[in-house]
Structure 1
Amino acid sequence: HIQEANYKLLQKFVNEEKRLGPIYGASFTYASFSSRYTNVLNGETPNIFSLDFSGGSLVDVGVYPVTFAVALFGEPKSQTYAPYICRTGVDAGGVITLRYEGFGVQINQAKSYTSTAPCEVYGEQGTITTNSTTDISTIKHFNPHTKNTEELAGPYKTVQKPNVNMEEEAVEFARIMNEKDTKAAAELERISNIVLRVTTDLRRQNGILYPADKQ
């Protein structure tokens, strides 16, 4: 995710090298059908889709693309959410819009359906595309002026076990603790606090209120 080597390359291309020039917008996706949603359709209330357990798609898979956007562009000026509210009272997915100065970011996130759409950042100098918000294996830049597509990054490692998710996060957290890197810890805390503010606001806009909110 945001600790992946290819995500850090994306940050470099967009924010430091400014390969796209002025940013016009972005579209990020994390939508994957959950087997637990089948339980919901069958009349059950699994924890991840329960208000009592502070569940729902937004606070589960939705935090990935929201964090992806926040770490890349900062805190949005405002945000809106058009969710699908399932039978249990939580959101099963939906479309988020983050408003920044001069552009917007669209986020499609869900646990009730699957999307294979890539993630894209748009600018004056073209479009940068990644295959996903997590496990980023490709970064490409299409230049509309030259009509050329440049591959900026490909797979950067081979992992012996196929399901080593969030390995980079674990390595970075260990480094922060071992080196007592308070600056890096503070930056991650800053990003987390923004994500919490955004997702909490999106929930409350749509009446998705948890018993835990009252505590």
Structure 2
Amino acid sequence: MIRFGVIGTNWITDRFLEAAGLVEDVKLTAVYSRSLDRAKAFATKHQAEYTFSDLQEFASSDQFDAVYIASPTSFHAEQAILCMENGKHAFVEKPFASNQREVEKMIEVSRKHQVLLMEGMKTTLLPNFNLLREQINEIGPVRRFVANFCQYSSRYDRYKEGEVANAFKPEFSNGALMDIGVYTVYPMVTLFGMPDQVSANVIMLDSGVDGLGTMEIKYPELTADLMFSKITNSYIPSEIQGENGSIVIDKWSDMQRLTKIDRDGNTTDISVNQEKNTMYYEINHFVELIKSGQLESPINSFEHSLNTIKVLDQARRSVGLVFPADKA
């Protein structure tokens, strides 16, 4: 039985635990929140026995084996490092951390203390992403990669009314690029590696983070166009274009449907059914890694996480988007 502790008591942690309920040998035993009342309420909701409002006491507790970290991005590195130093495996929500320096430190601590560390990017662990990887060679050589993920945030309504939620605060290393854009970058570097050139264009909000934007990416033999937003929706699918055909992807983050189209316009649905809660696949993968004694995912690997944060850092530099964490 793998006993989990969680940091963060928001909706994404609810979804994580819903998906974890589909995985064998997983149990929630501990909850941390800065507010003990919130921790107790969340623990009662999910039948967890132990609650903490002191992070050091939580990290050093012997009541859990692995931690799921779903706090604001600016806290990821500090919290993951503390837990790993106390022998806990760490599953850290995307984006992994605020910048490359923090990610490198997290990896260093994981290796030093011989514990598993993995970024919670679900897309690359989906069955349909595996199919996508297999089918790319059939349409290749690939010349253009278009990933589109624009999702209007309910918090933006509050923002326009004068309430700046954590999702739009630079001190938490948030904004559209980090929260949504990461979904377009991570699968790209998993498929094609680190690009040669990265540039971005964004719409900045008065709070100091970006609301939406695009990235223009250059590889030696292909270009990539990445679109992301927290202040608009988009209903345009994503697409990978090869000289011998294309693959169209509906709902990029979940890869709900893959359609292969040959040069003559003939279409084939190549997708498979997936669990409704697509977080299942990343959680199951993480648990299997623990059971088999592995300290790094071969799919959501350190290399992929490092390349992702490097792209995000370069994109931010190209538009002058600086977080307080960058000055630490």
* TM value normalised by structure 2: 0.60
2:237 to 110, 118, 129: 118
Q: Which has the higher contact order (CA 8 A, sep 6+)?
A: 1
Query: Higher helix fraction: Structure 1 or Structure 2?
Result: 2
The aligned amino acid for 1:209 is V
Change (3 A) 1:150 1:185: closer
The CA distance in 2 between the partners of 1:6 and 1:64, in whole Å, is 15
Measured against aligned partners, the alpha-carbon deviations of 1:33-63 in whole angstroms (never above 9, x if no partner) come to 0011112222222111011111111111111
Asked if the contact 1:176–1:185 (Cα under 8 Å) also holds between the matched residues in 2, the reply is no
Choose 1 or 2 for highest CA Rg.
2
Asked if the contact 1:45–1:88 (Cα under 8 Å) also holds between the matched residues in 2, the reply is yes
Asked if the contact 2:153–2:231 (Cα under 8 Å) also holds between the matched residues in 1, the reply is yes
The CA distance in 1 between the partners of 2:192 and 2:182, in whole Å, is 15
Change (3 A) 1:68 1:186: closer
Instruction: Extract unaligned runs of 5+ from structure 2.
Output: 1-122
Measured against aligned partners, the alpha-carbon deviations of 1:64-117 in whole angstroms (never above 9, x if no partner) come to 111121111111111111001011110011111111112111111000100111
The aligned amino acid for 1:147 is G
Asked if the contact 1:40–1:87 (Cα under 8 Å) also holds between the matched residues in 2, the reply is no
Is residue 138 of structure 1 aligned with residue 251 of structure 2?
A: no
SS of equivalent residue, structure 2 residue 255? coil
The CA distance in 2 between the partners of 1:210 and 1:98, in whole Å, is 22
Query: How many aligned positions are there?
Result: 206
The aligned amino acid for 1:168 is Y
2:293 to 165, 180, 187: 180
Instruction: Extract unaligned runs of 5+ from structure 1.
Output: none
* TM value normalised by structure 1: 0.90
The CA distance in 2 between the partners of 1:95 and 1:35, in whole Å, is 21
In structure 2, the partner of 1:196 is 309
In structure 1, the partner of 2:131 is 9
Which residues of 2 match residues 44-55 of structure 1 at below 5 A?
44-55=163-174
Change (3 A) 1:105 1:186: closer
Instruction: Name the stretch that deviates more: 182-191 or 39-48.
Output: 182-191
**Kindly, what percent of the aligned residue pairs are identical?**
27
Asked if the contact 1:40–1:88 (Cα under 8 Å) also holds between the matched residues in 2, the reply is no
2:162 to 26, 43, 58: 43
Is residue 29 of structure 1 aligned with residue 148 of structure 2?
A: yes
